[in-house]
Chains A and B, each alone.
Chain A
Amino acid sequence: MSNEKTMAVAVAEQLARLRDDYLARLPAELTGLEALASGLSGSEIDRASLDELYQRLHKLAGSGGTFGLAALSVGARSLEQRVRGWLAEPLDAVDVQARQTFAQDVAALGKTLSEANAMASATLPDKGASAPGQCIQVWLVEDDALLGQALGRQLESFNYVVRLFTRIGDAEAAAQTERPDMLLMDVMFEQEGENSTEVFTLHPNLRALSCPLLFITAQDDFQSRVRASQLGAEGYFLKPLEVPRLVNRMVQVLEKLRAPSQRVLIVDDDADLAEHYRLALLAAGMEAEILQQPAAIMEKIATFRPELVLMDMHMPDFSGPDLAGVIRQHDNWSSLPIVYLSAETDLDRQIEAMNRGADDFLTKPISDAQLVAAVRIRIERARYLDEQINRDSLTGLLKHASIKESAGIEVIRARRSGKPVTLAMLDIDHFKVVNDTYGHAVGDVVISSIAMLLRQRVRQSDIVGRYGGEEFVLVLPECGAKDAHLLLDDIRQRFAAVRFSYAQKDFTCTLSAGLACSAQHPDSNGAALLVAADEALYVAKRGGRNQVRGGQLDLKGAQP
């Protein structure tokens, strides 16, 4: 789960609790208002009651709105205005008819609640990108229907589900009940004479979507760009659109939402303090675990795979620098950030500690917010560096060495956990022909689109790498051969359905894949299992391409 998602869920739970409390108190409040309203007599004696009604209706309008009871809020607001009008004048002018209508309207406020309850389930936040394996819903708001349809088709070939709106108002209406994963908006709406960066904030439902927002536009003007930036837009693309660039940004944005939560290992002999840090980091959406046995530090690191170690400086049996030294003896973890958390203010001793493998020093006492910020920034930086070093620049997938390493780690983990891991090797069929016919730029589009497809179809725990030019590796932990086969065959079919275009000419590509499951090769290490997957891929190629091979043992003839 991403940080945003964890946070959104935690906040949603708290909000739901507050809302339940509020709903429980509401009937009594409404009864009280009704009693006040029906007790009005049409004279100056009413002034105290009306003052009270005014205050309480005002509160109700505010609180109702806060908890998403829009109808209640609007109703209370209008009644509040009516009372305000009366209070401004002599009260004997309020006739019996007006008082009766008012009392009825107050009584009717309760009726809005049943509708509101039905709405509640639809309005609770469900933030973050959709689960992997689900399609990404994109709303395209574009007044040029032809352009919209053409762009929609192209995005669909990248596995997005596109819904086209030609008017902002239509999207606003739909946003009341539905929520896309991403909003793509034209800037200029000629027909309505509107600039969407100007009017966006006037559409409360669109604003409340809080999904990533990208703008597309025919004209580049600074004012609109600034407004787009103020709206938190994630991109601003000029027409004619370069679809692969647009899609690339869309992928980046969604990846960011999907980024796994940050993992922190806490090493502190003060159990209470360690638990406090853990809770503070958890509340910020991170995963945090406490090392219980210093001697087991490397096992803990291997299983939990922290992205940062928060280390106490002075502990009874081993010092922080001792343990940091142990971590640094292992090549795999030589770049794991280690941060000391200590009351140590002696600069010389800090420097000495840093010399022995630590990266940074945080001084106790530290506020939760400072701790979270310090940890978050360091992990973000480490992730960024890791991206630069280990990721393929075209596809954003792991590079050859990293995916090989991941395969090795997962095979060891599978052996320990007793659950199978399956490796898949994929290769685009006749890719050389694509390159030769359409050029390398088009070839790159094909490569990026398969990378995007892979990332969209696999689970968060799965690992995807670009193994070579047009060759990819998937590492699927806790996945048997049969499930892996189903997944890969689905990917194969989807890829075959993607239409690429070059100079007004459409073409498609296919892929072949080979699988190897640790359950069938219990003695193989990662490298050997990769070889087995590669052999299965070779069988798929020789068998006529556009097929998935390997993992037949537990398939029992399910394979064509």
Chain B
Amino acid sequence: MSTLQRILYVEDEPDIQAVAKLALEMVGGFTVKICSSGEEALREAVAFAPDMILLDVMMPGMDGPSTLMALRELPALAELPVAFMTAKVQPAEVTYYKSLGARDVIPKPFDPMTLASQVRAIWEA
């Protein structure tokens, strides 16, 4: 692990995609790729070679947890840090998501000015 630079963000809602891209690229200085579904993420992730993946939990089709499972099957991504993004952050759910192999959970809505530092903190944890 060197530095956090490339982030793959999987989110189906275009408005949130736009804000997150802004927050991560402009404020955080990261290189960001957005995928609109779990399926798209599975196709694109290896080629993009992210340092970290952010996954929306609830998406139509493959949801966040099943996307995580499928990503973990890909050897290149088996160990990659992943964080879930979700509105419902009950402690039990956080524990559950972590048990799936996520490093942490970022509550939505996020603050565009601090999202990048939240992500960095999780990556460094």
Contacts and interface: CB of A to CB of B under 8 A. Distances in A.
Mutual binders A and B: yes
Interface of A: 7-8, 10-11, 14-15, 18, 22, 55, 58-59, 61-63, 65-68, 73, 77, 125, 127, 207-208, 210, 230, 232, 283-284, 369, 372-373
Contacts of B111: 207-208, 210
Interface stretch (B19-27, B42-50, B66-74): B19-27
Nearest to A368: B29
A62 B13 contact: yes
Interface in B96-125: 108-114, 117, 121
B117 A65 contact: no
Interface residues of B, number: 25
B87 to A, nearest CB: 6
Contacts of A63: 13, 15-16
A230 B121 contact: yes
Q: 3 tightest CB-CB pairs across the interface, nearest first?
A: A65-B109, A63-B15, A66-B109
Nearest to B60: A55
B58 interface: yes
Contacts of B87: 61-62, 65, 77
Main secondary structure of the interface of B (DSSP, over half): loop
Contacts of B26: 7, 10-11, 14, 283
Contacts of B31: 369
17 contacts: A8-B113, A10-B26, A18-B18, A22-B15, A55-B60, A58-B58, A62-B108, A65-B108, A65-B109, A66-B110, A67-B15, A67-B19, A68-B109, A210-B111, A210-B114, A230-B121, A369-B31
A232 B58 CA distance: 30
Contact of B22 (A11, A207, A210): A11
Contacts of B112: 11, 15
Interface of B: 5, 12-13, 15-16, 18-19, 22-23, 26-27, 29, 31, 58, 60, 87, 108-114, 117, 121
Nearest to A25: B15
Contact of B15 (A18, A55, A68): A18
A73 to B, nearest CB: 7
Contacts of A77: 87
Nearest to A10: B26
Contact of B29 (A207, A208, A284): A284
Main secondary structure of the interface of A (DSSP, over half): helix
Nearest to B14: A63
B27 A11 contact: yes
A58 B16 CA distance: 12
A400 B125 CA distance: 46
Given A11-B23, A18-B15, 20 more contacts: A8-B113, A11-B26, A14-B22, A15-B19, A15-B22, A58-B58, A59-B13, A61-B87, A63-B15, A66-B109, A68-B109, A77-B87, A207-B111, A208-B111, A208-B114, A210-B111, A283-B26, A284-B29, A369-B5, A372-B29
A513 B65 CA distance: 69
Nearest to A14: B22
Contacts of B58: 58
A61 B87 CA distance: 9
Contacts of A67: 15, 19
A427 B46 CA distance: 67
A124 to B, nearest CB: 11
Contact of A369 (B19, B29, B60, B114): B29
Given A7-B26, A65-B87, A59 B109 contact: no
Contacts of B60: 55
A228 to B, nearest CB: 14
A8 B60 CA distance: 34
B81 to A, nearest CB: 17
Given A22-B15, A58-B58, A59-B12, A11 B109 contact: no
Contacts of A66: 15-16, 19, 108-110
A65 B20 CA distance: 13
Contacts of B23: 11
Nearest to B12: A59
Contacts of B113: 8, 11, 125, 127, 210
A235 to B, nearest CB: 18
A145 B58 CA distance: 46
B16 A62 contact: yes
Contacts of A8: 113
A18 B22 contact: yes
Contacts of A372: 29
B19 A18 contact: yes
B90 to A, nearest CB: 13
B60 to A, nearest CB: 6
Contacts of A373: 29
Nearest to B86: A62
Contacts of B110: 66
Question: Which of B18, B109, B110, B111 has its CB near the most chain A CB atoms (within 10 A)?
Answer: B109
A232 B117 contact: yes
Contact of A62 (B22, B109, B117, B121): B109
Contacts of A65: 87, 108-109
A172 B19 CA distance: 25
A372 B30 CA distance: 12
A65 B112 CA distance: 11
B20 to A, nearest CB: 8
Contacts of A10: 26
A256 to B, nearest CB: 16
A354 to B, nearest CB: 26
Contacts of A11: 22-23, 26-27, 112-113
B28 to A, nearest CB: 10
Nearest to A51: B60
Nearest to B117: A232
A7 B23 CA distance: 11
Nearest to B18: A18
Contacts of A68: 109
Given A63-B13, A67-B15, A73 B27 contact: no
A285 to B, nearest CB: 10
Question: Which of B12, B18, B121 has its CB near the most chain A CB atoms (within 10 A)?
Answer: B18
A455 to B, nearest CB: 26
